[in-house]
């Protein structure tokens, strides 16, 4: 239950990493300690994701991208087959699954030890990916609001579940940015969904405040500034700000030119206690973590 702001138990602090809760999640029978930040590399098997260099549909490109994520120090590979950029076209469940099945077959054949997350809000797609391909994490941008079966599905599958805050759908979310009080509203939504998940036995929950989803640019920065308030929920936090419009529009550039801005925002997210960073640029993210860790010694 959401009980008001207080400091999580078993928390490490220093002036650079700020809050570092001792969280662990179990993936495919292996325990992952999140007291040190982990990196989730993005692989989009879509033709229309907002950052072109994250897209890979041909077999050779999928292999190349996964190898790059692993070589650069990525811990998890987040595979998405439904673009969630604002105003993205809707994709049928069948098309989403066809894209995922093609990519996951390749990944499992070429990289059998890779820890794979699937970015989907559909329960049937999630179940298929876990049962057929041993996917280890389900990353749901809708936080369980798009498919009423998602919570029961992830509870039964027993896999870690990323619960993200979003209003509406990718097609409507940018018109749903009116909040009574941004941080409490997001916290309350997450707390209510967490309670529902725990009531049905779901474990290994991860929260994502949903940067760029049903939030204005100003709200995104307000959220980042006060993100440490989410530690009241006593769960690991995943942050995805990589090359998003909150960076490149503010700077008057493009997604291709947003690496420096992304690195700055990832640094702040780490200082606010992020446990997982979801990124396009794994090497830059890993170097950021290494430098902050050095300062924290």
pLDDT at 265 over 70: yes
pTM for the structure as a whole = 0.90
pLDDT confidence of residue 297: 79
pLDDT confidence of residue 8: 39
pLDDT confidence of residue 171: 81
- Find the catalytic residue in 122, 244, 272, 286: 244
**pLDDT tens figures, 68-86:** 999 999 999 999 998 776 6
Q: Which pairing describes strands 116-119 and 161-164: parallel, antiparallel, or unpaired?
A: unpaired
Mean pLDDT of 271-291: 97
Indicate the CATH number for domain 24-296.
Answer: 3.20.20.20
Position 53 confidence tier, pLDDT thresholds 50, 70, 90: low
pLDDT confidence of residue 83: 79
Q: Is 278 a catalytic residue?
A: yes
Position 191 confidence tier, pLDDT thresholds 50, 70, 90: very high
- Find the catalytic residue in 215, 243, 278, 286: 278
174 or 292, greater pLDDT: 292
pLDDT at 165 over 70: yes
Mean pLDDT of 180-190: 97
Q: Is 249 a catalytic residue?
A: no
pLDDT at 248 over 50: yes
pLDDT at 3 over 60: no
pLDDT confidence of residue 4: 41
Mean pLDDT of 85-109: 88
């Amino acid at each position: 239950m959401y009980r008001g702001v207080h400091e999580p138990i078993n928390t490490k602090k220093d002036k650079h990493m700020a809050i570092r809760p001792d969280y662990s999640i179990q993936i495919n029978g292996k325990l992952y300690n999140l007291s040190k930040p982990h990196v989730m590399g993005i692989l989009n098997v879509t033709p229309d994701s907002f950052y072109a260099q994250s897209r890979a549909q041909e077999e050779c490109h999928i292999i190349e991208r996964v190898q790059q994520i692993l070589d650069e120090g990525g811990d998890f590979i987040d595979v998405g087959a439904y673009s969630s950029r604002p105003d993205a076209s809707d994709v049928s469940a069948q098309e989403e699954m066809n894209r995922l099945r093609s990519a996951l077959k390749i990944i499992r054949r070429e990289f059998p030890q890779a820890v794979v997350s699937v970015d989907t809000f559909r329960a049937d797609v999630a179940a298929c990916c876990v049962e057929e391909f041993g996917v280890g994490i389900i990353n749901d941008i809708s936080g369980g609001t798009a498919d009423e079966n998602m919570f029961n599905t992830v509870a039964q599958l027993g896999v870690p579940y990323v619960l993200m805050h979003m209003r509406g759908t990718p097609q409507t979310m940018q018109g749903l940015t009116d909040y009574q009080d941004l941080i409490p509203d997001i916290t309350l939504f997450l707390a209510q969904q967490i309670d529902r998940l725990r009531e049905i036995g779901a474990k290994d929950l991860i929260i994502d405040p949903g940067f760029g989803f049903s939030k204005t640019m100003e709200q995104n920065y307000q959220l980042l500034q006060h993100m440490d308030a989410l530690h009241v929920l006593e769960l690991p936090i995943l942050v995805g700000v990589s090359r998003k419009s909150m960076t490149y529009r503010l700077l008057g550039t493009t997604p291709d030119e947003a690496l420096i801005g992304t690195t700055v925002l990832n640094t702040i997210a780490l200082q606010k206690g992020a446990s997982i960073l979801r990124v396009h640029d794994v090497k830059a993210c890993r170097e950021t973590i290494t430098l902050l860790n050095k300062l924290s010694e």
